[in-house]
A and B are shown apart, each in its own frame.
Chain A
Amino acid sequence: MAEKTVVAIQIIIVLFPIIMAPVIMYSNRISDKLRNGLSVLTAAFTFVLTMTLYPFIKNGGVVQHSLFEIIPNLEISIRLDLLSFSLASLASFVWLLATPYSLAYMSKEHACGRYYPVLIFTLGSCQGIFFAGDLFSLFVFFELMSIIAYILVIHEQTEEALKAGYKYLVMTIIGGLALFFGMIIIFELGGTVSLGVGPIIQEESVLGLVAFICFLIGFGMKAGMFPLHVWLPDAHPVAPSPASALLSGIMLKTGAYGLIRVVFFVYSFQLLHAFDWDDILAVLAVITILLGSAVALTQTDIKRRLAYSSISQMGYVLLGLSIFNTNAITGAIFHIFSHAFMKSALFLAAGSIIWKTGKRNIADLRGIGHQMPITMGCFALAALSMIGIPPLSGFLSKWTLALGALDVGMPGFVLVLLISSLLNALYYLPIIIPAFFELPGELTIKHHGDVHHEPRIKIEEAAPLMLLAIVLLASCTLFFGLTPNNIAYGLSRLTAAFLLGGGGL
C-alpha cells in the first residue's frame, strides 16, 4: 500500500466519525431506527477501515506525514506505526461492540439523540489521538475527546452525575494545562514537537524534568494514576454502562498511550533511565496498583468497584512502562489489550444486570448467576482473567510483566503484582461466588426431610445484542490467553521491539 493511500485512510478514519456525529444528530429527528443504524454503521466502517491498515503495518511500515502548519513549526500531522495501529484497532473494535450494545441498553434511557452523536464523535477523536503525528495534534484530539466525553459522563443528569462530571471537567482542564505547559517546554527546548524526529530531548535539564512531570500529570490524570485518580471512581460509574465500558476500556488507555509516546519519542528511555526519572513513574505505578485494589475492596456499588479496579489495572501498564525491556513493555502493551477486553466485558455485564434488574449493590447480587447465567458467566470469566488465572489473557499479561521485572532483577515488582492479584481475588470472588452458589435474597432453600428443594429460578437474560457484545469480549479474554501466538500478543511483541529499537527512526 502506498504511503499516500495510508494517509488518506487514516484521515478518513479520524474524520468520518467526526463528520457523522452531526449527521446522526440530525437523523435523530427523522427516525430512531435511522439514527441507530447510522451509529452502528459508522462504528463498523471505522473498524473495517482501521483493519485495512494491517497489511501495511505487518510489513513494518511507518508513516509520518505533515498535513498543514498551524503556526510556524507547529503543525497538524499524522503518524502510523505499530503502536498507533495496535491501539486504534483495539479502540475501534471495542466501539464496534459497545455501539450495538448501546442500542439495547439505551432503549430505556432518555436523551439518546445526544448520546449517539457524542459516542461516535469520541470514537473519531480517540482515533485522532492514536494517529497524531506530533504532540500538538495529540493534545488537540486528547482535549477534544476528554471534553466531549463529559457529555457521556453526565448523561443521567442527576445531581450525582453533574457533580462527578464537574470534577471530571476540572481535572481534565488541569491535565490539559499541564500538557500544554509540558508541550511548550518541549517546543522551547527542541524547537519541534513532532513524534517523527527521534528523541527531542537529548540532555538533562531542569526544564526537561518539569516537562516530564507535566506529561505525567496530564496523561497520568487520564490514566487514573495516583494521586490524580480522584475523578475516575466518580465519573466512570455514573455514565451509562456502555459509556463506562468505553471510558474505562479505551479512554483510560489514551493516557497510557500518551505516556508511551512521551517516554519513547519525546525523551528516550535511555535518558530517562540514566537520570532515574523512570523511578517517579515506577513508584507512582506501584502506589496506584496497591491503592486501587485496596480501595476497590471497600466499595459496595458494583460499578464503583470496577472503576477502582481500573485504576489498579492501569497501574500495571504504567509499571510495565517504567521497566525498559522487551518483556515488560510487551506486558504493558498486551495488558492494554487484555484490560480493554476484560474491563469492557465487566462493565457491559454489570450494565446488563442493572438494566435487567436494577440492582447495583453487590450485596443484592446474590444468586444473579441463576437468573442471568450467560451474563454472569462472562462476568466470571473476565473477573478470573483480572485475577490472573491461566489460561486467560490477564494471566498472560501479568506473566510477561513479571518476566520483565525479573529480567531487570526487580523481584519487588513481582511481589506487587502478586499482592495485587490477591486483592483482585478478594474483591472479585465475593461477587462471583454468591452469584452462583447462593440464592437470590427473597428465596431460601426449603428443607423437606433430607431432600433439598431448590426453587426454580426463571432465566431472564438481557437483550440479545447486549449478550452478543459481552460474550464476544469475554471470549476474547479466553482466546487471547489460550493462544499466545495471537494477533494481539504478536502486535504487543512487535511494538515493544519497535519501541525499544528506537521507534523506527
Chain B
Amino acid sequence: MALAEHLPALIVITPLSCAFMAPLLYRRHALASGYMVLLSLLITLVMSALLLLKVNREGPLSYQMGNWSPPWGIEYLADPLRLYMLVVVIAVSLWVFFYALKDLEHELRREVIGWYYTLYLLLVASMAAMTMTNDLFNLFVLMEICAISSCAIITIKQDRECLEAGFKYLILSAMGTGCYLLGIAMLYMVTGHLNFEYLQNELSTAVAIYPLNVFTAAALFIVAFGTKAALFPLHVWLPDAHASAPSPSSAMLSGLVIKIYAFSLFLILYQVFPRSLLDSLPLSEIVLWLAALGVMFGSIYAMMQKDLKKMLAYSSIGQIAIIFMGIGLDQRLALVGGLYHIAVHAVTKGMLFMAAGAIIYATGVRKISDLAGIGRAMPLVLAAFTIGSASMIGIPGTGGLISKWYLALGALEIGRSLFVLVVLSSSLLNAIYYLPIVINAFMSEEDFAHKVNEVPKMLQLALVIGMIFIVVAGVFPRPLILLLGEAVANFF
C-alpha cells in the first residue's frame, strides 16, 4: 500500500495540518474543534502503532523526505527504539489532551483556547518528528518549534507569574539552542555532513585531525541538551515554568518535553559520536555525575516547597536525572531502565500534575499545608495522587520499581554500587516528600477546610486511565522491556 510507506511523514503532517485548522474551526464550533484535535491525535497514535508493528516485523525503515537521498536530503529513521519514544509521545499527548479539553475552559480565556490547540499540536508534531529525524539540522529546526510552542503554552495564561516564567524559559532555551547550533557548525566544519550515519563514519577519522572541534561540539551538546532537559545545574528555569503553567501544559512539559531532549542527547551520544570517541572522552561520566547530583538536589529542593505544583516540578528535576543516569551509566541494562523510566515518568508525572490540576480546579487550593483531609473530599483524585506517589517511590506493582530495578542492576553489573545507592536514596527522598501529603490528605483529623466543586467526569476518567497505565507498567512490563533490550543491544 502506498500510504503505508509514507507513515513517518504522515505522523508528523497530521497534527501539523490540524494545528492550523483548529482555531478556524474553534470560532465556528468550539466543541468540534476540540474533538477534531482529539481525533487527529488518535489517528496519529494508530499510525505510530502501525509503524511500530511494521518495523518490528520487517526491520528498521528509512524514510527520505521528498525522495532526496541522505547526504543532502532529510532522512527519518524508524527503528524500534525511536518508535518506542514516538508512541510514548503520542500516547501521552493524547491522554493529556483528553484532560485538557475540560480543564482549559477553567484555566484560560475562551478566545485563546483555539490558539492553545494550535500550539499543542505544533508541540506534538515537533516532538514526534524529533524522535524520528536522522539529521542534525532538522533536529535544530524541530527543537526551535518545540521550544517556542512549549514556551507559548506557558505564557498563554497571561498572568504575571506565567509571563515571567515563560520569558526566563525562552531566554535559557534560546541559549541552549544557540549552543546546539554552534555545535552542529563545529561538526559540519570538520565533516561536511549533517546526517547521523554519515557523521558517525566521518567523525572516527575527523576526530584525529580536528580533536578540538569535536570535543567542543560534544561539550556544547551537553550544555544545550542539559539546559533544555533541566539537567542539574542547568535546571533553574524549570520549577517556575512548570509550576505556573496551566495544568495540561505542566503535564506535557514535565511529562514529555524534557524527556524528548534527554532522548535526543542520547541519540547524539550513541548514534553520532563514534564508540571510540565515547570511550576516550568522559562524556557519559560527566552526564552520570551531573545526574547523580540532580537526583539528590532535585529531591531536596522538592522537600522544601510549599506549593504543590512547585514540588512536583522540582521532583521532575530529580526524575529526569534518573533518566540521564541510565544514559550516563553506559551499560545495556541501565539504559533499558532509563528508557523505560521515560515512559513511566511521563505517565506518572503527567498524572500527578493532572491530579494537582483537578485539586486546583475543584477547590483552588495550591498550598501543600492546606490539603489536610482532602482525601475524604476527593477520594478518586487523591487515589490517583497516591498511585503516582507509589510509582515515584518505586513500590512493587508500579512502573517505578521496574525502571529502578534495571538501573540498579546495570550499575551493579559494571561494579558501580555507589550509583545504586543514589537510585535507592532517590526512592527514599521521594517517600519523604510524597508520603506526608498522602497521609495528611487521608488521615488528618481535621476536615478539608475549603469548598469542593465537582470534578468533571472527563478529568476523572483521565486520572483512571493514568492509574491503569502505571499498574500495567509495573505488572506486565515484559514486552516493552524485551523491545527496549533488543533495541539498545547494538549500541554495545
| Proximity bits, A155-182, B CB within 8 Å = 1, else 0 | 0011000100110011001101100110
182-214 of chain A: CB within 8 A of chain B: 184-185, 187-188, 207, 210
In the complex, are the beta carbons of B408 and A69 less than 8 A apart? no
Q: Looking at chain A's contact residues, is the secondary structure mostly helix, strand, loop, or mixed?
A: helix
B477 to chain A: closest residue by CB = A71
Residue numbers in B under 8 Å from A414 (CB-CB): none
Q: Does A140 interact with chain B (Cβ within 8 Å)? A: yes
Q: Does B428 interact with chain A (Cβ within 8 Å)? A: yes
| Distance A249 CA – B393 CA, assembled complex (angstroms) | 29
In the complex, are the beta carbons of A143 and B439 less than 8 A apart? no
| Proximity bits, B124-154, A CB within 8 Å = 1, else 0 | 0000000000000000000000000000000
Q: Does B435 interact with chain A (Cβ within 8 Å)? A: yes
Given contacts A72-B481, A143-B396, A174-B428, contact A181 B443 (CB under 8 A): no
| Distance A241 CA – B130 CA, assembled complex (angstroms) | 60
In the complex, are the beta carbons of A140 and B432 less than 8 A apart? no
In the complex, are the beta carbons of A184 and B478 less than 8 A apart? no
Q: Does B436 interact with chain A (Cβ within 8 Å)? A: yes
Q: Does B182 interact with chain A (Cβ within 8 Å)? A: no
| Distance A56 CA – B476 CA, assembled complex (angstroms) | 33
In the complex, are the beta carbons of B478 and A71 less than 8 A apart? yes
In the complex, are the beta carbons of A166 and B408 less than 8 A apart? no
| Distance A188 CA – B420 CA, assembled complex (angstroms) | 12
Residue from A70, A144, A157 with most neighbouring chain B CB atoms (10 Å): A70
Residue numbers in B under 8 Å from A207 (CB-CB): 412, 417
Q: Does A154 interact with chain B (Cβ within 8 Å)? A: yes
B329: min CB distance to chain A, Å: 14
In the complex, are the beta carbons of A184 and B439 less than 8 A apart? no
Interface size on B, residues (CB 8 A): 33
Residue numbers in B under 8 Å from A188 (CB-CB): 409, 412-413
A210 to chain B: closest residue by CB = B417
Q: Which residue of B409, B427, B439, B481 contacts A177 across the interface (Cβ within 8 Å)?
A: B427
Q: Which residue of A165, A170, A177, A185 contacts B412 across the interface (Cβ within 8 Å)?
A: A185
Q: Does A395 interact with chain B (Cβ within 8 Å)? A: no
Q: Does A139 interact with chain B (Cβ within 8 Å)? A: yes
| Distance A139 CA – B431 CA, assembled complex (angstroms) | 18
Given contacts A169-B435, A185-B412, A188-B409, contact A143 B424 (CB under 8 A): no
Q: Does A147 interact with chain B (Cβ within 8 Å)? A: yes
Residue numbers in A under 8 Å from B406 (CB-CB): 71
| Distance A140 CA – B395 CA, assembled complex (angstroms) | 8
In the complex, are the beta carbons of A181 and B482 less than 8 A apart? no
B276: min CB distance to chain A, Å: 28
In the complex, are the beta carbons of B478 and A69 less than 8 A apart? yes
Residue numbers in A under 8 Å from B60 (CB-CB): none
B419: min CB distance to chain A, Å: 12
In the complex, are the beta carbons of A187 and B409 less than 8 A apart? yes
B430 to chain A: closest residue by CB = A173
Residue from A147, A170, A180 with most neighbouring chain B CB atoms (10 Å): A180
| Distance A124 CA – B394 CA, assembled complex (angstroms) | 22
Given contacts A70-B477, A72-B478, A72-B481, contact A180 B439 (CB under 8 A): no
| Distance A181 CA – B421 CA, assembled complex (angstroms) | 8
Q: Does B445 interact with chain A (Cβ within 8 Å)? A: yes
| Distance A260 CA – B154 CA, assembled complex (angstroms) | 56
In the complex, are the beta carbons of A139 and B396 less than 8 A apart? yes
| Distance A173 CA – B475 CA, assembled complex (angstroms) | 20
Residue from B397, B413, B424 with most neighbouring chain A CB atoms (10 Å): B424
In the complex, are the beta carbons of B395 and A143 less than 8 A apart? yes
B197: min CB distance to chain A, Å: 30
| Distance A181 CA – B424 CA, assembled complex (angstroms) | 8
A164: min CB distance to chain B, Å: 12
| Proximity bits, A388-408, B CB within 8 Å = 1, else 0 | 000000000000000000000
In the complex, are the beta carbons of B409 and A147 less than 8 A apart? no
Q: Does B405 interact with chain A (Cβ within 8 Å)? A: yes
274-303 of chain B: CB within 8 A of chain A: none
Residue numbers in A under 8 Å from B420 (CB-CB): 181, 184
Given contacts A71-B405, A72-B481, A173-B393, contact A166 B431 (CB under 8 A): no
| Proximity bits, A201-236, B CB within 8 Å = 1, else 0 | 000000100100000000000000000000000000
Residue numbers in B under 8 Å from A140 (CB-CB): 396-397
A187 to chain B: closest residue by CB = B409
Residue numbers in B under 8 Å from A174 (CB-CB): 428
406-435 of chain A: CB within 8 A of chain B: none
Residue numbers in A under 8 Å from B404 (CB-CB): 180
Q: Which residue of A71, A72, A147 contacts B395 across the interface (Cβ within 8 Å)?
A: A147
In the complex, are the beta carbons of A144 and B431 less than 8 A apart? no
| Distance A140 CA – B474 CA, assembled complex (angstroms) | 11
A181 to chain B: closest residue by CB = B424
Residue numbers in B under 8 Å from A144 (CB-CB): 396-397
A155 to chain B: closest residue by CB = B443
Q: Does B90 interact with chain A (Cβ within 8 Å)? A: no
B437: min CB distance to chain A, Å: 12
In the complex, are the beta carbons of B395 and A157 less than 8 A apart? no
In the complex, are the beta carbons of A70 and B478 less than 8 A apart? yes
B286: min CB distance to chain A, Å: 26
B426 to chain A: closest residue by CB = A177
B481 to chain A: closest residue by CB = A71
In the complex, are the beta carbons of A165 and B439 less than 8 A apart? yes
Residue numbers in B under 8 Å from A74 (CB-CB): 405
Residue numbers in A under 8 Å from B445 (CB-CB): 157-158
A184 to chain B: closest residue by CB = B408
Residue numbers in A under 8 Å from B485 (CB-CB): 72
A47: min CB distance to chain B, Å: 26
Residue from A71, A72, A165, A176 with most neighbouring chain B CB atoms (10 Å): A71
Q: Which residue of B396, B402, B417, B439 contacts A162 across the interface (Cβ within 8 Å)?
A: B439
350-371 of chain B: CB within 8 A of chain A: none
| Distance A207 CA – B409 CA, assembled complex (angstroms) | 13
| Distance A273 CA – B445 CA, assembled complex (angstroms) | 51
In the complex, are the beta carbons of B413 and A184 less than 8 A apart? no
Given contacts A166-B439, A184-B405, A188-B409, contact A173 B478 (CB under 8 A): no
381-439 of chain B: CB within 8 A of chain A: 393-397, 402, 404-406, 408-409, 412-413, 417, 420-421, 424, 427-428, 431-432, 435-436, 439
A147: min CB distance to chain B, Å: 7
| Distance A178 CA – B405 CA, assembled complex (angstroms) | 13
Residue numbers in A under 8 Å from B475 (CB-CB): 70
In the complex, are the beta carbons of B443 and A162 less than 8 A apart? yes
B420 to chain A: closest residue by CB = A181
In the complex, are the beta carbons of A180 and B417 less than 8 A apart? no
A208: min CB distance to chain B, Å: 12
In the complex, are the beta carbons of B424 and A180 less than 8 A apart? yes
B316: min CB distance to chain A, Å: 21
115-174 of chain A: CB within 8 A of chain B: 139-140, 143-144, 147, 154, 157-158, 162, 165-166, 169-170, 173-174
Residue numbers in B under 8 Å from A158 (CB-CB): 445
In the complex, are the beta carbons of B424 and A177 less than 8 A apart? yes
B385: min CB distance to chain A, Å: 15
B296: min CB distance to chain A, Å: 15
In the complex, are the beta carbons of A157 and B443 less than 8 A apart? yes
| Distance A210 CA – B417 CA, assembled complex (angstroms) | 10
| Distance A69 CA – B421 CA, assembled complex (angstroms) | 26
Residue numbers in A under 8 Å from B417 (CB-CB): 207, 210
Residues of B with Cβ closer than 8 Å to A? 393-397, 402, 404-406, 408-409, 412-413, 417, 420-421, 424, 427-428, 431-432, 435-436, 439, 443, 445, 475-478, 481-482, 485
24 contacts between A and B (CB under 8 A): A69-B478, A70-B477, A70-B478, A71-B406, A71-B477, A72-B481, A139-B396, A140-B396, A140-B397, A144-B397, A158-B445, A162-B443, A166-B435, A169-B439, A173-B393, A173-B427, A180-B394, A180-B404, A184-B405, A185-B412, A187-B409, A188-B412, A188-B413, A210-B417
A69-B478, A157-B445 given; name 8 further pairs at CB < 8 Å: A70-B402, A72-B482, A74-B405, A140-B397, A166-B439, A173-B427, A174-B428, A184-B412
Sorted from nearest, which 8 A-B pairs have the closest CB atoms? A140-B396, A173-B431, A188-B412, A177-B424, A184-B408, A71-B481, A143-B396, A71-B478
